[in-house]
Amino acid sequence: SKIKAGLIWFNGRLVPQEEAKVSVLTHALHYGTSIFEGLRAYETPKGPAVFRLQEHTERFFHSARVMRFEMPFGPEAINQAILEVVRANGYRSCYIRPLAWMGAHTLGVNPLPNNPAEVMVAAWEWGTYLGDEAVRKGARLITSSWARFPANVMPGKAKVGGNYVNSALARMEAHQAGADEALLLDKEGFIAEGSGENIFFFRGGVLYAIEHSVNLMGITRDTVITLARDLGYEVREVRATRDQLYMADEAFMVGTAAEVTPISYLDHRPIGTGEAGPHTLRLRAAYMEVVQGKNPRYEGWLTYV
C-alpha cells in the first residue's frame, strides 16, 4: 500500500496496518455497504487536536442508522479510538478515517440480519487534498457529466461507501479533462457539490452557501458559515445554478480534506479575476487559525489528543 497508516484500530484493537485485513467475500466490497467519516487533527500550541470530533462521530452514527448497521461500539468508544490512533502513531497532524462495513456473513444483497458491522479507524499524514497550487492560485473545476444522485436514489446525507461511485466517476472525468475537481449538479441542473466538497460563492460582498438539498451536510460548511457570520459577512443559503458561479466575484469549496480552497475557473471561465479572491483568502486564513488552535473563541471545536 502507498498509504502509510501505521497502527490501525481494527474492531477494538490496535494492530499494524499489514494485519488490518478483511475477506474478499466482504459484503461491502461487493455492494458498497460501508459508511465512513473523514476528520483532521492539526498541530496546535497545546499539541495535536482533532477538529469537531463530536460532530463527525455524530454523523458517523447517523450514517449507520440510515444503513441499519448494528454498531458493536458506541460513539464514546469511537471518539476514544480516533484519539488513540492519532496518539499511538505519534502524528502531529493527520487525516483520520473511521469506517464501518458489512462483513463476510452473507453475499445476498440484503446484508441483514446477523451481520453486525465491523469497524476500523486509520489515520495517515495527508497534506493539501487539491495540491498547494490550487490552494494558492485556486482550483480549476469543470461541470461533471455525472449528476449528483437524487434523494430517492441514494442517501446523500449519509457518508455511504456506495455513494462515492458517483464522486469517483466525476473526479476521474475531471482529472482526465485537466481540471482539479468536478462540480456536480443535481438532476434539475442546480449546483449540488464537488466530489468531496461543499460549494460557496461571493457576490456583492454577500456570501452564498449552497443550501442542503442532495448534498452532504458538511461540517466544514457549517464551520465556514459560523466564521463568516462572526466576521460580519451576510450569509445566505441558496439554491443556485452554474451560471451564477460564472458571474460570481469569488467562489470556493470546502471540506475536511480540501479545507477552504479557492475556485479560479469553472468550465474554462475565470471566476472574478481568475485568482484566489480576498474574501475567500480571509475565510481560509480564519479557518486555518481556528483548526490550528490559534483562536481561543473556538477552542470548543478542538479535542486535544
Number of chain positions touching ligand PMP (CB under 6 A): 14
Positions 63 through 102 that interact with ligand PMP (CB under 6 A): none
Asked if residue 220 binds ligand PMP (CB under 6 A), the reply is yes
The reply on whether position 260 binds ligand PMP by CB under 6 A is: no
Query: Does 255 sit near ligand PMP (CB under 6 A)?
Result: yes
- Interacting positions 25-54 with ligand PMP (CB under 6 A): 38
57 near ligand PMP, judged by CB under 6 A: no
- Closest to ligand PMP by CB, 91 vs 129, is 129
256 lies in the binding site for ligand PMP (CB under 6 A): yes
Residue number, 9 or 60, with CB nearest to ligand PMP: 60
CA 216, 192, 166: angle at the middle one, nearest 5?
A: 75
Q: Least separation, in Å, of the C-beta of 62 and ligand PMP?
A: 12
Contact flag: residue 280 with ligand PMP (CB under 6 A) = no
Exactly one of 7, 117, 209, 216 binds ligand PMP (CB under 6 A); which one? 216
Binding track over 187-206 against ligand PMP, x by CB under 6 A: ------x--xxx--------
Residue 159: active-site member: yes
Nearer to ligand PMP, 31 or 164 (CB): 164
* Contacts with ligand PMP, residue ranges (CB under 6 A): 38, 167, 193, 196-198, 215-216, 218-221, 255-256
Q: Which residues are catalytic?
A: 159
